[in-house]
């Protein structure tokens, strides 16, 4: 994404706060004028006491009063500008983070699966923070800096045109240096932001897998990988800092050149009687004030290059294609009976390789279907297609005769309940976790759902019971307890279609027997898909689909498949 388009979009973010920025600009004008009037008063004060016995104390006191008034105006306007600029920058960042968080929920699951979670976090947190810093510097220093340059030139031209022309002639040198350096820094800041996202993603992955790493004694290998990524990030960081750090010395050198030139030519004019001592002092002060904003602006430009690089990454995420959805038929919410028909379904993540293909079957309402097969045969992928987490490359999935892509995803998922092998709990109370996604749920309903899932017993033994807060990643609960809570979440409101993907994999055998009884009662009259490896879970199914290499190679009841002595029979023996 080019700098120009990124900058335009940043302006678009700031546009809603234009009235506040105009107000800040007005205070900036008052701030600059009061600041530039101080050297005039200083010059007058010097002229009031240039000779022994010629000091005009009355005039000095009048100047002192004006001097204090200018200082007060300068201080108050600076304070108000800081409040306004902070408010604008923080509101922009707040709105941007809301958009980014909403974007996570609007992009397809495939986007989240194919992008590092740490990199997405880096864009939402670190990149947004850097953009905030760039905006804050831009508002607080750029306004005042540009106004100071223009106003100082006006004041200087009023004093002496020829000396002012010396300043104007030397100004392009500073501008050229700042522009050259800013172009160099953008490339390195862009690379730095990208590498930081990768480093964050790696750390996030490592923290999540720390037990596995320790179990296999892979600490050394992970440390080596981290060191390599960290060194690469450090090199990019140092290059960015090297170019950005040259800005200040270069502009200071030019500033010194301007000041020395003004002092030299001003002294010649003063000796010739063209300037008073006080006026020369005022002129030198203006020369210093004129060059000072170039230091600040060059620093702002450098920081803004960093902000632009981060903003580019943010906008790349915001520009990601949203998941495609449709309205429900005739604008009405669809209630499923559980009739599902699959016609020639095809799908693969890598379009050059086959995964699911030629899948066709019909499920009547209330049927129980087991899906079995070796790891990687496409069982979970098939479930993802049923839920419209991914869209098929070809073929159709029909619910009650209606194509899945003609039903809104929200309606589809309200009609399907799912318990996965991988549990997910929020860092809130157990009661809130069970009631997740449901409105107006009573405590009695939550307890009843927990009893059905056999989670009530262990929850009651906890110190705070249902009000126990689940720690991040559920570390204060066992894998089986977390799965029971997820099952209770489903028991709270049972839809017409159920998907149980290894739902009892982390539960002991005794509890599994009790839960399977609850599941059988739960599945009564409901269409159910069961992904499992245990014979006890699948042998009573109405239909068993045997998958291998992305296709259904056998289907039938348990007894029928055993009699065929095919792949299913070999799986049982294995």
Domains of the chain, residue spans: 3-318, 329-573
> What confidence score (pLDDT) does residue 120 get?
81
> What confidence score (pLDDT) does residue 539 get?
79
Q: What tokens appear for 417 in the block?
A: 């309940």
pTM for the whole structure: 0.67
> What confidence score (pLDDT) does residue 507 get?
65
Task: Give the pLDDT confidence of 450-484 residue by residue, as tens digits.
Answer: 888 888 888 899 888 889 888 876 677 877 788 88
Q: What is the CATH number of domain 3-318?
A: 1.20.1560.10
CA dist list (Å): 297 to 23, 288, 290, 413, 464: 21, 15, 12, 53, 57
- Whether 392 and 345 have beta carbons less than 8 Å apart is answered as yes
Q: What is the CATH number of domain 329-573?
A: 3.40.50.300
DSSP 124: I
pLDDT category at 505 given cuts 50, 70, 90 is low
Find the range with the poorest average confidence among 144-153, 286-295, 380-389.
Answer: 286-295
Sign of the Cα pseudo-torsion (103, 105, 108, 112, in order): positive
> What confidence score (pLDDT) does residue 534 get?
66
Q: How confident is the model over 102-111, as a mean pLDDT?
A: 82
Task: Give the pLDDT confidence of 307-364 residue by residue, as tens digits.
Answer: 887 888 888 888 888 777 777 665 555 678 888 898 888 888 877 777 888 888 888 8
**Is the pLDDT confidence value at 564 over 80?**
yes
Q: How far is Cα 365 from Cα 339, in angstroms, rounded to an integer?
A: 5
> What confidence score (pLDDT) does residue 522 get?
74
Q: In what order do the strands lie in the sheet with 340-347?
A: 356-363, 340-347, 394-399, 402-403
Give the Cβ contact number of residue 70 at 10 Å.
18
> What confidence score (pLDDT) does residue 215 get?
66
Calculate Rg over the CA atoms of the chain: 35
- Closest C-alpha to 379, from 574, 571, 515, 108: 571
């Amino acid at each position: 994404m080019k700098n120009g388009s990124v900058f335009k979009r940043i302006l678009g973010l700031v546009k809603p706060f234009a009235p506040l920025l105009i107000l800040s600009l007005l205070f900036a004008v008052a701030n600059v004028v009061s600041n530039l009037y101080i050297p005039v008063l200083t010059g007058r004060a010097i002229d009031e006491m240039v000779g022994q016995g010629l000091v005009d104390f009355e005039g000095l006191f009048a100047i002192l009063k004006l001097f204090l008034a200018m200082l007060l105006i300068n201080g108050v306007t600076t304070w108000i500008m800081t409040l306004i600029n902070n408010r604008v920058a923080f509101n922009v960042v707040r709105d941007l983070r809301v958009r980014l968080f909403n974007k996570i929920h609007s992009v397809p699951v495939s986007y989240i699966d194919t992008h590092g979670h740490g990199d997405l976090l880096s864009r939402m947190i670190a990149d947004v923070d850097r953009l905030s810093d760039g905006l804050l510097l831009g508002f607080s220093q750029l306004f005042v800096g540009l106004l100071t340059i223009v106003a100082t030139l006006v004041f200087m031209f009023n004093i002496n045109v020829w000396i002012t022309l010396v300043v104007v002639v030397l100004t392009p040198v500073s501008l050229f240096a700042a522009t050259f350096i800013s172009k160099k820094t953008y490339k390195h800041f862009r690379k730095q932001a990208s590498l930081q996202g990768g480093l964050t993603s790696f750390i996030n992955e490592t923290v999540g897998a720390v037990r596995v790493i320790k179990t296999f004694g892979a600490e050394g290998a992970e440390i080596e990988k981290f060191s390599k990524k960290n060194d690469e990030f450090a090199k990019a960081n140092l290059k960015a800092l090297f170019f950005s750090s040259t800005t200040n010395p270069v502009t200071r050198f030019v500033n010194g050149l301007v000041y020395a030139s003004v002092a030299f030519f001003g002294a010649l004019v003063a000796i010739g009687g063209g300037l008073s001592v006080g006026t020369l002092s005022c002129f030198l002060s203006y020369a210093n004030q004129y060059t000072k904003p170039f230091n600040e602006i060059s620093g702002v430009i450098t920081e803004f290059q960093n902000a632009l690089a981060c903003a580019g990454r943010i906008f790349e995420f915001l520009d990601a294609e949203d998941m495609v959805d449709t309205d429900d038929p005739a604008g009405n919410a669809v209630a499923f009976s559980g009739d599902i028909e699959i016609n020639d379904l095809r799908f693969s993540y890598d379009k050059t390789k086959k995964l699911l293909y030629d899948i066709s079957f019909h499920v009547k309402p209330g049927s129980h279907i087991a899906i079995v097969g070796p790891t990687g045969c496409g069982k979970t992928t098939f479930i993802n297609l049923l839920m419209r987490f991914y869209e098929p490359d070809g073929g159709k999935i029909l619910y009650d005769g209606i194509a899945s892509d003609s039903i809104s995803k929200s309606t589809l998922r309200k009609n399907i309940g799912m318990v996965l092998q991988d549990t997910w709990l929020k860092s809130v109370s157990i009661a809130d976790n069970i009631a997740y996604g449901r409105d107006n749920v009573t405590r009695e309903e939550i307890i009843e759902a927990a009893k059905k899932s056999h989670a009530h017993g262990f929850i009651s033994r906890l110190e705070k019971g249902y009000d126990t807060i689940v720690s991040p990643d559920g570390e204060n609960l066992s894998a089986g307890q977390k799965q029971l809570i997820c099952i209770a979440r489903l028991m709270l409101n049972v839809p017409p279609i159920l998907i149980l993907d290894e739902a009892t994999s982390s539960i002991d055998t005794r509890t599994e027997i009790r839960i399977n009884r609850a599941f059988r009662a739960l599945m009564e009259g409901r269409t159910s898909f069961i992904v499992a490896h245990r014979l006890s879970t699948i042998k009573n199914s109405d239909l068993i689909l045997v998958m291998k290499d992305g296709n259904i190679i056998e289907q039938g009841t348990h007894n029928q498949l055993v009699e065929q002595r095919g792949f299913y029979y070999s799986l049982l023996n294995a």
